[in-house]
Every structure is written in C-alpha cells, then in structure tokens.
C-alpha cells in the first residue's frame, strides 16, 4: 500500500493507491499479526473506515485504550490524530493507554460516548511476532453488530484516502486535559470508574473480611491488562497480601506468554491450585480482561458450570439480590445453566458464539447474566464479558457461604446433576483441511439421525441457526450439532478469532443426574463420545494431529 499526501488546512489527506480489503466480513473489528498492522497505512485505512461509518463522530465523544500490547501506543497516537481530523469533540483515554475491555464498556456507557475503540487481540499473544487488534464498540458499550462491521468492510473496499492531522505524541503518564486541534483529549485513571462500579455490585466489606482471614488467593494477570485493576481491588481495597497478584505488570509481549486463562496457558497457576496446598482460591484473566478462569484448592471450575453456579447463587450478591430477569448462554456452552434457570422459573436463551448476541437481550432487559464456555461470564452491568467481575462474584459467594470452591461445586451437582463437559481445540490447521473436514461432516448430518453414536441413538443434527428474539434477525451456520437421545451432544465449529490457519473446536457434553457418578474425570466420562466424533469426522487423518492442541 503506497500513498501520497495533500493538506487541507490542518487536515492531511493521505491517498491510498490500493483499496484495503483485508477484513474478514462478519467479524467484529480487525485482528491480525502485529507485522500486518505495521504495513504503511494499514491501521489508518481501517480506522478511516470506522470513523466514516460510526454514527455521531462529528462532535461526539470516543473512548480509547487497549490492553498494553505491542502497538498500543502507536495506534493510540494515530487514532487521536485521525479522530481530530474527523471532527470528534473529545477522546477519553486512560493513563498509560491501559484500558480493559469491560472497563471500556463501562466508560462508554457512563460518559455517554458514541462508542469506543479498544486496541487488543484479546487472548492472542502479543509483541512484534504476536497479534494486534482494533475492536469497535457502540454507544451501548458492547461490540458493534454484524451490520456495522459489514458496513466498515464495504467502506474499506473503496477507500481512496484517509484524513489525519499532525500532532506530537501525548504523554499518557498522568491524568490531564489536552487538545489536538479542536478536539479535547481527557486522560483519566482507567481503574477508578471500574472499581466504583464493582463496589456498587458487591459487598466489599464482606469480601474483605474473607480475604483478611485465612483465605490465601492467587490472581494471575498474565502480564496483561488486569494487573493494575486487580492490585487496586484485591490488595488496596480488599486487603489481600501484595504477593496475591502474579504477573501483575502489563508487558507489551505479555512476558512471552499466551494471555488466555485456561489450564494450558495459565498452567503455572493451575499447578499451584490443583497440585499445591498454599492457596484456597485462584483466578486468571486474559489479555484484555474480559475472560476469567476460576480455581479452588484441587478444583477447576468449568466455565459452563461457573455460569450455572453464579445463577444459582445470584441472590448472595447485593446487585442481583432481587432476582434475575433471565439468563443466556452461547450454543456450545453446556446446558448446566438451563437446569438452574428452569428451577428458578426464568428464561434461558441459547445464542450463537460471541458476546454481541447477548447485547440485544441485555439492552431489552430480557436477561441479567450470560456466559460462554470460553471463560466468558458477564451481566447487565456492562455490555462485555468481565473477568474481574466474575472473580469478585465468586468471592462474594464464598464470603457468604464460607466453604471451599470444591464444596460449592459438589453441592451444585448434588442439587442439579452434572454436565460433564470438555472442549478440544485443534489449532493452526491448514485452512483447506479444516474446511474440508467441516463441510464433509455437515454433508453427513442429515443421514445421522437414528444411527448410533457412542452407544446412544442420534436424535437430531443440524447447523445451528438463531433468530434474535428482540429484533428477529437471523444468524445461520453457527456450528454443527449432533444430539443424542440422553441429552448428550457434540458440537463442531470453526473458530472465528484465530489468525494462523484454522482452528477446529469440538465441544462435548454429557449429563449425569444427581443420582449418578458425579466425580469422574471429564475426559473419562466423555471418552466414548470423544472417540466417536474423532472417527466420524476423521479428525486425526484430516488434521494430521494425534491429539488436540488444547483440551479444556
């Protein structure tokens, strides 16, 4: 992409020789390798299309920040200068440019901004050899809908130039008010507003009593965005010892790690909790702070179960004491929460993968809590999943019930039965092989009903499609489902967030009632389903992989 520039008063118009068409339609924002973002005019072209498409840019207020990864500060500088050229009246930015995704959602809502730009590739590794991303959230604080991202994509295809102003880079070290041309730049402490919101939702005194007692906890920020938030909340306000926070300093390359809080990538934390005896509670969040993993002493909480436990215990948190409007889970998430919702007599919605589908339900007041199997849990307090919120919710429950995480899980299963669950990811599969596997399996689906699978009869099979109950929009092709007679199921999807090759996700779920064996290893409880899907979908032959890259 080469360019020439011309100036019109303060605005510089940089002409683009080739249109920029690199965005995957239907995906929220743009997530690519850091190297791709360093190509001349690459970031600028996408930002131009966003600023031309987002409603209210002229005279509007925008929230801006990111997870601190390599490229964050450069992108902030570019977006500020382009925002000024496009007539924004104000950009709210946080010290160090550090802003978690849920905190950004809160700020957009609180400050009545037209939206926000969040610089993150979420849980993907960062650094010059890692990934970078630009996410755009709307005025409700949530990810922009598919119609917006499609419009941005259309715009990028015919883009001929972008507008920018010259301005020196601002120091983001301290709060203050600056200006770039007519646009005001307000630098604020990014932690304050978020902490204030958490204090409204949870009983900090009660949690503090727990943490000041014999309740050692380990929180792993994975050298990503949540370090400063966690320090303020757990150490400064709740009184946990300072060494409770691990990897608390945000680093541009996340210390070389993969900031995804699961048993593989947060392995050190998992070992501390699952093998050691020093901690009673452990938690981790991802790159941009929207995901969470919860661990107890010798106990891993599956994210689908976590949503069910929060739903069943919601009354213990001040914010949710008066009951829940309803709950929602993404389709591949286990049905554990459905059983709780049924008992509570509230609605439970099944949406496609991705947070944006919860936004409509939250905005319409149809649900209060929602979550995904991929370590995302949230509520109507913002319009993103929220990692630290989930950790605080668990601590609130533990502070009231005064028992171990394992006790909470055991009593939950004894009451509702257990949904054994596991996700197997095959990462970096050559795209042709992954699509070949998927298309072939989809072709097999109609013939499967009535056949035997893992010793059970197949009672249904489809490619999941969703009609939004609020706006009736239809979203198709959301994953292949094989449903068995006893309520067990297997789902196969291709990831929409990977940047290297394709990722095949296989989701396995099997229900055991409270009278059954509640204490098996999920890989053993699901073993026959795992081998059946492996042979049906020819996973080993087609991927050339002996085993999944990640098992959760």
Q: Which residues belong to the active site?
A: 122
Shortest spacing between CB 155 and ligand G1P, in angstroms = 24
Three-state SS for 136-173 is: EECCCCCECCHHHHHHHHHHHHCCCEEEEECCCCCCCC
The beta-carbon contacts of 471-477 under 8 Å, at least 24 apart in sequence, are: 471/360, 475/146, 475/352, 475/357
Q: Could you tell me which of 171, 1, 34 has the C-alpha nearest to residue 96? A: 171
Rounded CA separation 221/205 (Å): 23
What angle (nearest 5°) sits at the alpha carbon of residue 278, between those of residues 274 and 282?
55
Stretch in the footprint of ligand G1P (CB under 6 A) among 32-40, 53-61, 169-177, 353-361: 353-361
* Nearest residue relative to ligand G1P (C-beta): 495
Starting from the edge strand earliest in sequence, which strands make up the sheet with 418-429, in order?
Answer: 452-453, 456-463, 480-484, 489-494, 502-512, 418-429, 550-551
- Applying the rule CB under 6 A, the residues between 87 and 126 that interact with ligand G1P are 122
The helix or strand, by DSSP H or E, that contains position 492, with its residue range, turns out to be: strand 489-494
User: Per rule CB under 5 A, is residue 122 in the interface with Zn ion?
Assistant: yes
Binding residues for Zn ion, how many (CB under 5 A)? 5
User: Per rule CB under 6 A, is residue 374 in the interface with ligand G1P?
Assistant: yes
What angle (nearest 5°) sits at the alpha carbon of residue 247, between those of residues 393 and 74?
100
User: Per rule CB under 6 A, is residue 353 in the interface with ligand G1P?
Assistant: yes
Handedness of CA 368, 114, 102, 175 (dihedral sign): negative
User: Per rule CB under 6 A, is residue 497 in the interface with ligand G1P?
Assistant: yes
Q: Could you tell me which of 283, 115, 121, 95 has the C-alpha nearest to residue 190? A: 95
The contact mask relative to Zn ion for 272-291 (x = CB under 5 A, - = no) is --------------x-x-xx
202 Rama class: left (phi>0) / alpha (psi -120 to 50) / beta: beta
Shortest spacing between CB 51 and Zn ion, in angstroms = 24
The DSSP code for 408 is H
Between 44 and 131, CB nearer to ligand G1P: 131
Return the number of other C-beta atoms located less than 10 Å from residue 504's C-beta.
28
Rounded CA separation 354/397 (Å): 27
User: Per rule CB under 6 A, is residue 548 in the interface with ligand G1P?
Assistant: no
User: Per rule CB under 6 A, is residue 496 in the interface with ligand G1P?
Assistant: yes
Contacted by 288, from Zn ion, ligand G1P, none: CB < 5 to 8 Å by type: Zn ion
Check: CB of residue 391 under 8 Å from CB of residue 368: no
Helix, strand, coil percentages in the chain from 3-state DSSP, rounded to 5:
35, 25, 40
Between 506 and 529, CB nearer to ligand G1P: 506
Check: CB of residue 134 under 8 Å from CB of residue 46: yes
User: Per rule CB under 6 A, is residue 495 in the interface with ligand G1P?
Assistant: yes
Stretch in the footprint of ligand G1P (CB under 6 A) among 240-248, 304-312, 350-358, 481-489: 350-358
Stretch in the footprint of Zn ion (CB under 5 A) among 114-122, 245-253, 257-265, 494-502: 114-122
User: Per rule CB under 5 A, is residue 313 in the interface with Zn ion?
Assistant: no
Stretch in the footprint of ligand G1P (CB under 6 A) among 81-89, 183-191, 461-469, 490-498: 490-498
Binding residues for ligand G1P, how many (CB under 6 A)? 13
Shortest spacing between CB 268 and Zn ion, in angstroms = 20
Between 193 and 288, CB nearer to ligand G1P: 288
Stretch in the footprint of ligand G1P (CB under 6 A) among 95-103, 113-121, 476-484, 494-502: 494-502
> Three-state SS for 530?
helix
Contacted by 495, from Zn ion, ligand G1P, none: CB < 5 to 8 Å by type: ligand G1P
Shortest spacing between CB 217 and ligand G1P, in angstroms = 25
Given the rule CB under 6 A, which residues bind ligand G1P?
122, 330, 353-355, 372, 374, 376, 495-498, 505
Given the rule CB under 5 A, which residues bind Zn ion?
122, 286, 288, 290-291
């Amino acid at each position: 992409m080469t360019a020439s520039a011309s100036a019109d008063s303060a605005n510089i118009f940089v002409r683009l020789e080739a249109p920029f068409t690199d965005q995957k339609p239907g995906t929220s924002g743009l997530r690519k390798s850091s190297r791709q973002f360093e190509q001349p005019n690459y970031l600028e072209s996408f930002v131009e299309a966003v600023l031309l498409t987002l409603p209210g840019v002229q005279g509007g207020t925008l929230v801006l920040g990111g997870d601190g990864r390599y490229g964050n500060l450069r992108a902030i500088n570019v977006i500020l200068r382009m925002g000024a050229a496009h007539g924004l009246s104000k950009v709210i930015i946080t010290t160090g440019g550090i802003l978690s995704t849920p905190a950004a959602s809160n700020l957009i809502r609180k400050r009545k901004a037209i939206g926000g730009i969040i610089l993150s590739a979420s849980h993907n590794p960062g650094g010059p050899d890692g990934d970078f991303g630009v996410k755009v959230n709307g005025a409700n604080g949530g990810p922009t809908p598919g119609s917006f991202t499609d419009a941005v994509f259309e715009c990028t295809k015919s883009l001929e130039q972008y507008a920018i102003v010259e301005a020196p880079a601002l120091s983001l070290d301290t709060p203050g008010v600056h200006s770039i041309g007519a646009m005001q730049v307000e630098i604020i402490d990014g932690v304050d507003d978020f902490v204030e919101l958490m204090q409204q939702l949870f009983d900090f005194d009660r949690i503090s009593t727990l943490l000041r007692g014999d309740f050692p906890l380990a929180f792993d920020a994975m050298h990503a965005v949540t370090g400063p938030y966690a320090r303020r909340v757990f150490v400064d306000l709740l009184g946990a010892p300072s060494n409770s926070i691990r990897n608390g300093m945000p680093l541009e390359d996340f210390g070389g790690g993969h900031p995804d809080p699961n048993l593989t990538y947060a392995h050190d934390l998992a070992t501390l909790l699952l093998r050691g005896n020093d901690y009673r509670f452990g938690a981790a969040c991802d790159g941009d702070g929207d995901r969470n993993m919860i661990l107890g002493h010798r106990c891993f909480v599956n994210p689908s179960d976590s949503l069910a436990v929060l739903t069943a215990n919601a009354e213990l948190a001040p914010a949710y004491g008066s009951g829940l409007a309803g709950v929602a889970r993404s389709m591949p998430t286990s049905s554990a929460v459905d059983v709780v919702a049924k008992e509570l007599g509230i609605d439970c919605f099944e949406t496609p993968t991705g947070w944006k589908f919860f936004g409509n339900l939250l905005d319409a007041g149809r649900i209060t809590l929602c979550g995904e199997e991929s370590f995302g849990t949230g509520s109507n307090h913002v319009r993103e999943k929220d990692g630290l919120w989930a950790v605080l919710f668990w601590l609130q429950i533990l502070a009231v019930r005064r028992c171990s995480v394992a006790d909470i899980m055991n009593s939950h299963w004894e009451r509702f039965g257990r949904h054994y669950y596991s996700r197997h990811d095959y990462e970096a599969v050559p795209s042709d092989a992954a699509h070949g596997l998927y298309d072939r399996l989809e072709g097999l689906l109609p013939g499967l009903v009535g056949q035997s699978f893992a010793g059970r009869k197949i009672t249904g099979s489809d490619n999941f499609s969703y009609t939004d109950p609020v706006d009736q929009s239809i979203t198709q092709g959301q994953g292949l489902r094989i449903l068995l007679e006893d309520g067990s199921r297997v789902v196969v999807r291709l990831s929409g967030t990977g940047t290297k090759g394709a990722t095949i996700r296989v989701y396995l779920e099997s229900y055991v009632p409270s009278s059954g064996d509640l204490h098996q290893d999920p890989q053993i409880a699901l073993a026959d389903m795992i081998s059946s899907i492996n042979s049906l979908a020819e996973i080993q032959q087609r991927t050339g992989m002996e085993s999944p890259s990640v098992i959760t």
